[in-house]
Amino acid sequence: MFKRETDLSLNASTGQTIVHYKDDDGKEKTIDDRLQLPADLANGIVTTLMSDIDPKAPKTTVSMLVATPKPRLVKLEISPAGEDSFSIGGSAAKAMHYVVKVDIGGISGVIAPIIGKQPPDTHIWMVDGRAPGFLKSEGQLYEGGPIWRIEMASPIWPKGDSGQKR
């Protein structure tokens, strides 16, 4: 399903980053690099990170390491986009809708939108409370990939409403 078979490993204490991937001809390649990693590095499953985002903050920014296939640091700018209604077990509830923008940074970040390489925004809905939880997301899972919708089976969203406000 993914465009390029890739394996990224990271030693956060040393900054050692190794990317194993297959190029367009199917040849195995390795990039071994050492990066200066910021303290706010938030690699992993972004929806898990969302449990720690303050919905009252106008924007939360964290760093993420991506393989393009060369390892690169980008910023994720996470902003609340309002509440959406849903129901679960017949009870009405509210979900916080977040928009996650990828800030590539540098000259690449200036050029990316011009040449069509700026990743589209990802939308994530979380249920708030003492134990915040993931409800759904819409976004790319990899560079150049399709927009995927991943959602829990039990919440019911209003008919004809994807829940997405742009």
pLDDT (tens digit per residue) in 121-137: 999 999 987 788 899 99
Instruction: Say if CB 31 and CB 69 are below 8 A apart.
Output: yes
Per the confidence metrics, is the pTM higher than 0.95? no
Question: Where exactly are the structural domains of the chain?
Answer: 38-151
- Residues 22-77 have pLDDT tens digits of 988 889 999 999 999 999 998 777 888 888 888 899 999 999 998 888 899 999 99
Distance CA 6, CA 45 (A): 16
> Does position 11 have pLDDT exceeding 60, yes or no?
yes
Distance CA 26, CA 109 (A): 29
> Does position 2 have pLDDT exceeding 80, yes or no?
no
Distance CA 78, CA 98 (A): 7
**Token pair of 163, please?**
């829940």
Distance CA 11, CA 111 (A): 30
